[in-house]
Structure 1
Amino acid sequence: MLKLNNFFLIMFMFMTIYMSMISSSMMFIWVMMEMNLLMFMPMLIMEKSYSYNSLYMYFIIQAVSGSMFFVSMINIYFIEIYYNYVSLFKLIMFMSIWIKLGVWPFYLWFIKMLNSVSWMIFFLLITIQKIIPFMVLSIYNMNMFSMMLIFVSSLVGCICVINEFSLKIILGYSSMNHMSWMIMAVMLNHNLFLLYFFMYFIISFILIMVLYKYDINWIIDLKYLYNLNSMNLFIFMNIFIMYMCIPPMMTFILKFFILSSLMDIYMIMFMLLMMLVSLISMYFYLRLMFMGLMFSLPKMKFNLYYYNNVNFMKEMNLFMFISMFFMIYMLFFFY
Structure 2
Amino acid sequence: MNLLTSTTIYFTLFSGTMITLFSSHWLLIWIGLEMSLLAITPILVNKPNPRSIEAASKYFLIQATASMILMMAAIINFYETGEWSISNIINQLSSFMLTMALSMKMGLAPFHLWVPEVTQGIPLISGLILLTWQKIAPISVMFQIAPSINYTLITIMALMSILLGGWGGLNQTQLRKILAYSSIAHMGWMMAIISFDPTLSILNLLIYIMLTINMFVLLYHNKKTSTLSLSNSWNKSPLLVSIILVVLMSLGGLPPLTGFSPKWMIIKELVSNNNIILPTSMAIMALLNLYFYMRLIYSTSLTLFPSPNNTKIKWQFENTKISPLMSTIVIISTMFLPLTPTLSILH
TM-score class, shorter = 0.7 to 0.9
Q: Which of the numbers 93, 106, 129 marks the counterpart of 1:124?
A: 129
Distance between the aligned counterparts of 1:91 and 1:142, measured in 2? Answer: 7
User: In 1, are the aligned partners of 2:193 and 2:270 still within 8 Å (CA)?
Assistant: no
Amino acid at match of 1:236: I
The more displaced of 49-58 and 63-72 is: 49-58
Runs of 4+, deviation exceeding 4 Å:
1-4
Q: Which of the numbers 231, 239, 252 marks the counterpart of 1:231?
A: 239
User: Is the alpha carbon distance of 1:189 and 1:6 closer, same or farther for their aligned partners in structure 2, counting shifts above 3 Å?
Assistant: farther
Q: Which of the numbers 173, 176, 179 marks the counterpart of 1:171?
A: 179
Please say if 1:79 is aligned against 2:44: no
Please say if 1:98 is aligned against 2:98: no
Residue in 2 aligned with 1:218?
226
TM-score scaled by structure 1? 0.82
Query: How far has the Cα of 1:125 moved from its partner?
Result: 0.8
User: In 2, are the aligned partners of 1:151 and 1:274 still within 8 Å (CA)?
Assistant: yes
Equivalences, count = 299
Superposed CA offset, 1:91-115 (max 9, x none)? 0111011111122111222221111
Task: Return the structure number with greater relative CO, CA threshold 8 A, min gap 6.
Answer: 2
TM-score scaled by structure 2? 0.79
Residue in 2 aligned with 1:43?
43
User: In 2, are the aligned partners of 1:158 and 1:281 still within 8 Å (CA)?
Assistant: yes
Amino acid at match of 1:296: L
Which residues of 2 match residues 1-335 of structure 1 at below 5 A?
A: 5-49=5-49, 50-80=51-81, 86-138=91-143, 139-140=145-146, 141=149, 143-293=151-301, 296=304, 300-301=306-307
User: In 2, are the aligned partners of 1:137 and 1:187 still within 8 Å (CA)?
Assistant: no
Amino acid at match of 1:9: I
Distance between the aligned counterparts of 2:73 and 2:107, measured in 1? Answer: 19
User: Is the alpha carbon distance of 1:7 and 1:268 closer, same or farther for their aligned partners in structure 2, counting shifts above 3 Å?
Assistant: farther
Query: How far has the Cα of 1:259 moved from its partner?
Result: 1.2
Question: Which blocks of at least 5 consecutive residues in structure 1 are unaligned?
Answer: 304-335
Query: How far has the Cα of 1:29 moved from its partner?
Result: 1.0
User: In 2, are the aligned partners of 1:157 and 1:177 still within 8 Å (CA)?
Assistant: yes
Query: How far has the Cα of 1:71 moved from its partner?
Result: 0.9
Query: How far has the Cα of 1:44 moved from its partner?
Result: 2.6
Question: Which blocks of at least 5 consecutive residues in structure 2 are unaligned?
Answer: 83-88, 310-347
Query: How far has the Cα of 1:80 moved from its partner?
Result: 4.1
User: In 2, are the aligned partners of 1:227 and 1:296 still within 8 Å (CA)?
Assistant: no
User: In 2, are the aligned partners of 1:154 and 1:176 still within 8 Å (CA)?
Assistant: yes
Q: Secondary structure at the match of 1:296?
A: coil
- The CA RMSD over aligned residues, in Å, is 2.5
User: Is the alpha carbon distance of 1:273 and 1:143 closer, same or farther for their aligned partners in structure 2, counting shifts above 3 Å?
Assistant: same
Superposed CA offset, 1:59-107 (max 9, x none)? 22211110110011111121247xx981012101110111111221112
Distance between the aligned counterparts of 2:31 and 2:130, measured in 1? Answer: 19
